[in-house]
């Protein structure tokens, strides 16, 4: 193996650039050329290839987003376009591929590697931190720190005006961000998809908190909570608690941006290097992760089908 490709796919995550840097440095150290594929699987289909070298990765470890750009590709779902992508890899003499992304990215990679018997290694990059096979995915630590910073600032204004704030964080299918940032931000209540907590229960708890003379109340809501997002929930609560001064904030894509934390940068360096090593050892169809501080390889089929569960020990803080 003397030439490998790398692409970033799906939602961006802080630390992707640090992983790209690690892969390129590992490739250089192993005398392997590294080819960057722009715009994810879309760029693979269209042959958007650029060679990456020491100059390409200078001063990118601290940058959020991805220098290779990212995209979600509907065309890659069709075999004819996957064949076109394989032709580009063959014509450019690329022997292996490293993909950075989440569940959807690994689904596409798994189908591709089985169809064409092509070596692919995945690196978990998703702020949701819901991938099976790793304790942490790249971007999660930065996202929760961004959320905690926002919650702290909203708390200041909530206390100044004796308000109840509903704060919505990302997590359509996972409550990881809401649970950890809510605990760290001292939220009075946290609503996540993994636990059932209806509006009636919420209203009762909010009344009790108000009766205990709480000057501010923060409720953190995962966007995928079964009762709906923060705006829907707050509108229902207003009907039952008309005397409450209620405000709602959605953090949205601010959680995806910003400089990656130290933890995300170090994790990205570890996983980038491990991905290159795995390719050189002839491995394929695997995701590299960190479990109990050690590198672990997990088959795509498991990382796709299974979902990383939330830490049940944290639920007692709700």
User: Tell me: the pLDDT tens digits for 194-227?
Assistant: 887 788 889 999 999 888 877 799 999 999 877 8
Residue 135: CATH number of its domain: 3.40.50.450
* pLDDT confidence of residue 225: 78
Q: Which residues of the chain have pLDDT under 70?
A: none
Q: Indicate the DSSP class of residue 152.
A: H
Instruction: Please identify, among 255, 284, 300, the residue that sits at the C-terminal boundary of a domain.
Output: 255
The answer to whether residues 229 and 250 belong to one domain is yes
Domain count, the chain: 2
Inter-residue contact 122 to 106 (CB < 8 Å): yes
pLDDT value at position 214? 75
In a domain? residue 318: no
For 102, phi then psi, to 5°, come to -120, -150
Domain span holding position 230: 142-255
Task: Flag whether 317 is in a domain.
Answer: no
**CATH of residue 234:** 3.40.50.460
Active site residue 130: no
147 Cβ neighbours under 8 A, 6+ residues apart: 169, 177, 181, 185, 251, 255
| Angstrom distance (rounded) from CA 251 to CA 170 | 8
Residue 86 pairs in a beta bridge with none
Q: Which one of the listed residues 12, 87, 117, 128 is annotated catalytic?
A: 128
Cβ neighbours around 172 below 10 Å, total? 12
pLDDT of residue 312: 78
So what's the pLDDT on residue 224?
Answer: 82
111 with 12, same domain: the answer is yes
């Amino acid at each position: 193996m003397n030439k490998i490709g790398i692409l970033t796919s799906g939602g961006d995550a802080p630390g992707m650039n640090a992983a790209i840097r690690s892969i390129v440095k590992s490739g250089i150290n192993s005398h392997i050329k590294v080819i960057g594929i722009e715009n994810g699987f879309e760029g693979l289909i269209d042959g958007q290839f650029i060679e990456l070298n020491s100059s390409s990765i200078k001063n990118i470890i601290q940058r959020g987003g991805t220098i290779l750009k990212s995209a979600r590709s509907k065309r890659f779902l069709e075999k004819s376009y996957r064949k076109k992508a394989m032709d580009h890899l063959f014509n450019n003499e690329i022997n292996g591929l490293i993909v950075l992304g989440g569940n959807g990215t690994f689904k596409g990679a798994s189908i591709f590697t089985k169809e064409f018997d092509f070596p692919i290694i995945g690196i978990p990059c998703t702020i949701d931190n819901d991938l099976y096979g790793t304790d942490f995915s790249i971007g999660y630590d930065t996202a929760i720190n961004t959320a905690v910073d926002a919650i702290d600032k909203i708390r200041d204004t909530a206390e100044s005006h004796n308000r109840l704030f509903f704060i919505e964080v990302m997590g359509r299918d996972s409550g990881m961000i809401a649970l950890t940032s809510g605990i760290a931000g001292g939220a009075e209540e946290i609503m996540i998809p993994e636990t059932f907590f209806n509006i009636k229960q919420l209203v009762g708890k909010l009344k009790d908190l108000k009766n205990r003379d709480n000057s501010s109340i923060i409720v953190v809501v995962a966007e995928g909570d079964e009762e709906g997002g923060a705006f829907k929930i707050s509108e229902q609560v207003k009907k039952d608690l008309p005397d409450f001064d209620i405000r709602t904030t959605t953090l949205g894509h601010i959680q995806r941006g910003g400089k990656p934390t130290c933890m995300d940068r170090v994790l990205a360096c570890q996983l980038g290097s491990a991905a290159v090593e795995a390719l050189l050892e002839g491995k394929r169809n695997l995701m590299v992760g960190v479990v109990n501080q050690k590198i672990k390889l997990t088959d795509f089929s498991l990382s796709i089908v299974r979902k990383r569960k939330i830490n049940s020990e944290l639920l007692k803080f709700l």
